[in-house]
């Protein structure tokens, strides 16, 4: 969340930054937060004055007792008790206002990076690289949607997936299932040179999802297990970010680089009828995430490192792709600066987002309370967090089936994946 001290020291800068997101209601929330913070601090000043007065009265009571002036001592004690009651009342009010302030701050998004492009929606996201590996033209076979090709090849059984779990669940089979697994292993192996592999739990606490910004604002998009106060993770970003919550790291240990394969669960509220065919949008899918904890000085370089690693994976598959930068009006809740990698799927005739790489500044670090200590300095500092989808399976899977669909009806497996496919080089009926 945004540092409340920044609201006190430079509210105009925060206001100007949030205004770039193009949502007027955010400025109303910010104004409410500033008002609540002023009221909380005013109550604190009044409490301090009362405590000082109570301490003074305590001394006067002692003096009156020593002088044998019982009536005066009793009167002073009465005043002290009345002030004590007032202090307790103020304390309760301060706690109430502090919680209201916290809830508002949890919903106010991060301030965009100064270099993030301005814009109102995804239509304003500029292309910063590419298109690359784009053929001069596509064949008729490549223009067939992957869901038709996959059904004919028997590698995607959407009908039985719906029977088992309901709408927007998918089920790759045979070589399709092998392809899903191969993509995950490929992403893990390609990042194993620098990133520690973790297999985090797929269920996490409310605090864990709050740390990354999914809660409370996006509760409707998450699957909740209310009986146990657990949530299905929407991405491995959630558990990886909170791996060091409440801890203080040494600066020398930063940046921390982590990667994880996990299933991801999303209710996709409000997505009915939008890109729901085949593998384009599903309630459950597999993904490999890469994540870093860094100092503020390291963060900008780490953002490019994560982006380059995600790009290397897509380029290595031979897919046509481009990189866009996310404008201020299209940014996610916690994002400070973000890039998306998109692949072109000729059968869908659209660019599909397959990786999102983001820098969150100290927004998540503050929510998760992850700090580091500089050698020889007193005090601690909040870490900056960054993460990226090294490879999200469904849309990459779809793009492979469409881009490598051959005139004879088979699908050629990208060479980078063949060692994970039990020797299979192409998928046939």
In order along its 429 residues, the chain shows pLDDT tens digits of 999 999 999 999 999 999 999 999 999 999 999 999 999 999 999 999 999 999 999 899 889 889 999 899 889 899 999 999 999 999 999 999 999 999 999 999 999 999 999 999 999 999 999 999 999 999 999 999 999 999 999 999 999 999 999 999 999 999 999 999 999 999 999 999 999 999 999 999 999 999 999 999 889 999 999 999 999 999 999 999 999 999 999 999 999 999 999 999 999 865 555 677 899 999 999 999 999 999 999 999 999 999 999 999 999 999 999 999 999 999 999 999 999 999 999 999 999 999 999 999 999 999 999 999 999 999 999 999 999 999 999 999 999 999 999 999 999 999 999 999 999 999 998
- Cβ-in-10-Å burial (0-12, 13-18, 19+) of 130 comes to middle
Tell me which DSSP letter residue 280 carries: S
Strands (E), 244-365: 248-250, 256-265, 284-294, 321-325, 337-345, 350-359
Backbone angles phi, psi at 260, to 5 degrees: -155, 140
**Pairwise CA distance, residues 60 & 43, whole Å:** 26
DSSP conformation letters of 133-199: S--S---TTTTS-HHHHHHHHT-B-HHHHHHHH-TT---B-THHHHHHHHHHHHHHHHHTTT-EEE-
Nearest C-alpha neighbor of 382 from the set 307, 296, 259: 296
Backbone φ and ψ for 58, nearest 5 degrees, come out as: -60, -40
Q: Parse the chain into domains and list their residue ranges.
A: 4-107, 122-427
Cα distance from N-terminal residue to C-terminal residue, the chain: 52
DSSP notation for 207-222: HHHHHHT-TTTTGGGS
Which CATH architecture does the domain made up of 122-427 adopt?
Answer: 2-Layer Sandwich (3.30)
CATH class for the domain made up of 4-107: mainly alpha
Counting Cα atoms < 13 Å in the Cβ hemisphere of 418 gives 11
Task: Determine the pLDDT at residue 73.
Answer: 87
């Amino acid at each position: 969340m945004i540092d409340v001290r920044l609201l006190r020291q430079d509210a105009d800068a925060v206001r100007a930054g949030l205004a770039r997101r193009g949502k007027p209601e955010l400025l109303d929330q910010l104004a409410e937060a500033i008002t609540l913070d002023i009221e909380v601090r005013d109550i604190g000043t009044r409490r301090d004055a009362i405590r000082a007065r109570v301490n003074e009265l305590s001394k006067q009571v002692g003096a009156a007792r020593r002088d044998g002036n019982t009536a005066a001592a009793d009167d002073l004690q009465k005043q002290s008790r009345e002030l004590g009651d007032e202090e307790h009342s103020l304390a309760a009010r301060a706690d109430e206002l502090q919680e209201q302030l916290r809830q508002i701050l949890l919903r106010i998004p991060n301030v965009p990076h100064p270099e993030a492009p301005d814009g109102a929606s995804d239509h304003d996201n500029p292309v910063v690289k590419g298109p690359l590996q784009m053929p001069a033209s596509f064949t008729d076979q490549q223009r067939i949607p992957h869901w038709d090709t996959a059904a004919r090849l028997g590698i995607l059984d959407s009908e039985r997936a719906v029977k088992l779990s309901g709408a927007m669940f998918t089920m790759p089979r045979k070589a399709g299932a092998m392809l899903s697994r191969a993509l995950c292993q490929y992403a893990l192996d390609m990042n194993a040179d620098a990133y520690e592999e973790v297999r985090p739990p797929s269920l996490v606490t409310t605090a864990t999802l709050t740390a990354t910004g999914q809660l409370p604002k996006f509760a409707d998009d998450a699957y909740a297990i209310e009986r146990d106060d657990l949530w299905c993770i929407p991405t491995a970003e959630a558990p990886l970010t909170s791996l060091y919550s409440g801890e203080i790291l040494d600066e020398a240990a930063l940046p921390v680089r982590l990667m994880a394969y996990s299933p991801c669960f999303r209710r996709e509220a409000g997505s009915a009828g939008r890109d729901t065919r085949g593998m384009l949008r599903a309630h459950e899918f597999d993904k490999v995430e890469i994540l870093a904890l860094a100092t503020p000085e390291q963060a900008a370089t780490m953002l490019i490192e994560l982006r380059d690693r995600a790009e290397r994976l897509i380029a290595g598959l031979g897919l046509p792709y481009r990189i866009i930068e996310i404008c201020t009006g299209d940014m996610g809740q916690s994002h400070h600066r973000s890039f998306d990698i998109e692949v072109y799927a000729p059968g869908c005739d659209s660019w599909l987002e397959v990786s999102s790489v983001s820098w969150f500044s100290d927004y998540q670090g503050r929510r998760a309370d992850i700090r580091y200590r500089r050698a020889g300095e007193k005090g601690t500092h909040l870490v900056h967090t960054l993460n990226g989808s090294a490879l999200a399976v469904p849309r990459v899977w779809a793009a492979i089936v469409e881009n490598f669909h051959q005139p004879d009806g088979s699908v050629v497996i990208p060479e980078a994946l063949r060692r994970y496919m039990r020797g299979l080089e192409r998928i046939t009926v």
